[in-house]
Structure 1
């Protein structure tokens, strides 16, 4: 029973005692803060951080998870009172000044719960040294009857406060902190929009970089492959034209070579175009294209395709290349024996998951690791984010590895 009381009352007492000393510190710094806060921006910013720390500690005590925090104080120049009074986070954090008001009675209850029982035992034993000088339950003790009766009464009262009153008081204090210092819905919406803008800015920068790299790759493929074939083709036709009258047989052979070169150039050009938007998507749709990828994979692929509905072309291309790159990575690096691909429509979003039973340890990085892994995943991430999608990689050492992608179709 005593162990249960201590396990309930100990954390509550620690929480309230720490809150008391933090409130005393805040109260002692209040005069200087009021005088210098409007001049020193860091003072008001510190009050907002203090409010957020109190919210975190209250939520942790209640087991409520990570709470919504007040946005940081608005940046302002020293003496900028206008910005100071427009700062909603600062005005909300001023409610911290109410904490010292309630902490004095809370500390009195805490002190009785923590030291009431030990003080009772001491009073019961030592009252004889100074009759009437020791008090138990607030009553001076000058005989053994009062010492034993009031002493045991104080022990029971102290344990009751420690085991039941203090946890309730601590929960009430933590709940009040969460309510008083909770950011407004307008502030939360503003923070959400700012985070969204930051995410879109990063994804846009990544998309621009990825697009630039893709254009350079296409230019290099066209320059080194198709353009060289076309230049060679033009030279052969020119030579054949010059030899047409003098040596028709040799000219015909050159034209045959030119025809073969033209076919090779067309093949290379189709290969370049296929990396931009695979023709199979137009011919067979996303489900057929993914099925073809699974059929060409050297590993066994368990393919589960649900109802897809109408999927925008950009989303089809992104999903196709994610599956293609994933199967390539798995074949090259994972040492897997089986692959599972799931593709389905979930409301306004397209859900894609590729799982393998390989060795795991895959990471997303701009540069390939020693095994040549990572850069392909980085390109997949940019491709997904470019159309406002989400991608998550789970690849613990030893496997399995799962790539989950959610692409908006609206």
Structure 2
């Protein structure tokens, strides 16, 4: 029981003492802030940061996560009162000036919670050395009856303050700080939009980089493969045309070689086209294409495919390549013995998760590590973000590794 009291009361008392110290600091700084705060922009900006610090500590005290904070104070020139009046963050942060109103009651509760029990034990043990100079429950102790009556009572009150009153007061202060210093709904919505714009900017930049890399790869494949085959084909046909009258047999052989070269060029061209939009998606749909990938994987794959509905072509292609790259990574790097693959529609999103029981340690990085891992995951992330999807990788050392992807279908 005593352990539970200490576990509840210790953090609460620390929070109350810290609130008292910050309130004292606020009282000391308040006259200067009133006189010079409107002139010095950094003073008002610091008040906003102070308010956000209070909200973070309040959220920690309540065991909550803090998703929104007051936006920074508006930039302004010294003496620019008009901007200061329009600054919603500054006006909200002014509520932190209410802290000194509660500093004395909170300090009193914290002191009673901390000192109540130790002072009672000391007074019970030492009152007889100097009767009348030791007190319990605010009364002087002159005899053993008072010591043994008031002492346990003060111990009980001290434990009650430590285990109940201090935590309740700390929670009340924290809730008040979270509510009073919270940004307005307009500020929260603006912050969400700004974060969304930032995410879209990053995803667009990633999509542009990925698209550029894909175009360079296709150009390289066409230049080094298909184009070389077509040039060789044209040369063989030209030579065959020149030698047809003099040596029909040689011309026929050249035409046979040209036909083989044409077939090889078509094969390479189909390979390039397959990397842009696999024909199997058009033939068998996403479920059939993923099933084919799982069937070709050398590891056993437990496949669970739910109802997918109508999936846009870019989403199908992204999901297909994520599955293909993931199964390739598992086969080459994970040392896994089993793969679990789930694909289903969840509302307006296509949800995909791939889990293997391998060694773990996979990370998303632009450059491959010593084992050749990482760059493929980076390409997967860019491909997913390019269509405004989300990808999460969990791969602790020792495994398992899980790739979760959600792609919007709306």
**TM-score with structure 1 length normalisation?**
0.91
Counterpart mapping for 1:62-81 below 5 A: 62-66=62-66, 68-81=68-81
Counterpart mapping for 1:257-272 below 5 A: 257-272=257-272
**Hey, what does 2:224 align to over in structure 1?**
224
How far is 1:247 from its partner? 2.3
**Hey, what does 1:61 align to over in structure 2?**
61
The separation in 2 between residues aligned to 1:314 and 1:134, in whole angstroms, is: 82
Structure 2 SS opposite 1:304: strand
Change (3 A) 1:142 1:370: closer
Change (3 A) 1:178 1:277: same
Change (3 A) 1:33 1:293: same
Counterpart mapping for 1:248-397 below 5 A: 248-397=248-397
The separation in 1 between residues aligned to 2:342 and 2:136, in whole angstroms, is: 72
CA contact (8 A) 1:388 1:407 kept: yes
How far is 1:62 from its partner? 2.1
The one-character-per-residue Cα deviations of 1:294-318 (angstroms, maximum 9, x if unpaired) are 1222222222111111000000000
Structure 2 SS opposite 1:403: strand
Counterpart mapping for 1:67-146 below 5 A: 68-119=68-119, 125-126=126-127, 129=130, 137-138=137-138, 141=140, 143-144=142-143
**Hey, what does 1:29 align to over in structure 2?**
29
Structure 1 SS opposite 2:319: helix
CA contact (8 A) 2:360 2:395 kept: yes
Change (3 A) 1:100 1:229: same
Change (3 A) 1:351 1:7: closer
**Hey, what does 2:174 align to over in structure 1?**
174
Matched, 1:183 2:202: no
Structure 2 SS opposite 1:351: strand
How far is 1:409 from its partner? 0.5
How far is 1:333 from its partner? 1.4
The separation in 2 between residues aligned to 1:367 and 1:175, in whole angstroms, is: 46
Matched, 1:194 2:189: no
The separation in 2 between residues aligned to 1:65 and 1:279, in whole angstroms, is: 46
The separation in 1 between residues aligned to 2:290 and 2:11, in whole angstroms, is: 56
The separation in 2 between residues aligned to 1:135 and 1:360, in whole angstroms, is: 64
The separation in 2 between residues aligned to 1:146 and 1:197, in whole angstroms, is: 73
Structure 2 SS opposite 1:208: helix
Structure 2 SS opposite 1:103: helix
**Hey, what does 1:403 align to over in structure 2?**
403
The separation in 2 between residues aligned to 1:337 and 1:145, in whole angstroms, is: 76
Change (3 A) 1:108 1:297: closer
CA contact (8 A) 1:384 1:390 kept: yes
Point out the more displaced range, 321-330 or 39-48.
39-48
The separation in 1 between residues aligned to 2:135 and 2:54, in whole angstroms, is: 37
How far is 1:203 from its partner? 0.7
Unpaired runs of at least 5, structure 1 = none
How far is 1:127 from its partner? 8.6
CA contact (8 A) 2:336 2:356 kept: yes
Unpaired runs of at least 5, structure 2 = none
How far is 1:79 from its partner? 3.3
The one-character-per-residue Cα deviations of 1:102-161 (angstroms, maximum 9, x if unpaired) are 112222333334334555566675598585x7765555x485489546666555444443
The separation in 2 between residues aligned to 1:322 and 1:9, in whole angstroms, is: 50
Structure 2 SS opposite 1:363: coil
Structure 1 SS opposite 2:403: strand
CA contact (8 A) 2:131 2:143 kept: no
How far is 1:73 from its partner? 2.4
Point out the more displaced range, 398-407 or 19-28.
398-407
CA contact (8 A) 1:127 1:147 kept: no
How far is 1:239 from its partner? 1.7
**TM-score with structure 2 length normalisation?**
0.91
The separation in 2 between residues aligned to 1:159 and 1:397, in whole angstroms, is: 45
Point out the more displaced range, 167-176 or 58-67.
58-67
**Hey, what does 1:246 align to over in structure 2?**
246
The one-character-per-residue Cα deviations of 1:253-284 (angstroms, maximum 9, x if unpaired) are 22222111111111111111110111111111
The separation in 2 between residues aligned to 1:299 and 1:155, in whole angstroms, is: 67
Change (3 A) 1:11 1:248: closer
The separation in 1 between residues aligned to 2:401 and 2:317, in whole angstroms, is: 23
How far is 1:200 from its partner? 0.8
Change (3 A) 1:294 1:44: same
CA contact (8 A) 1:55 1:67 kept: no
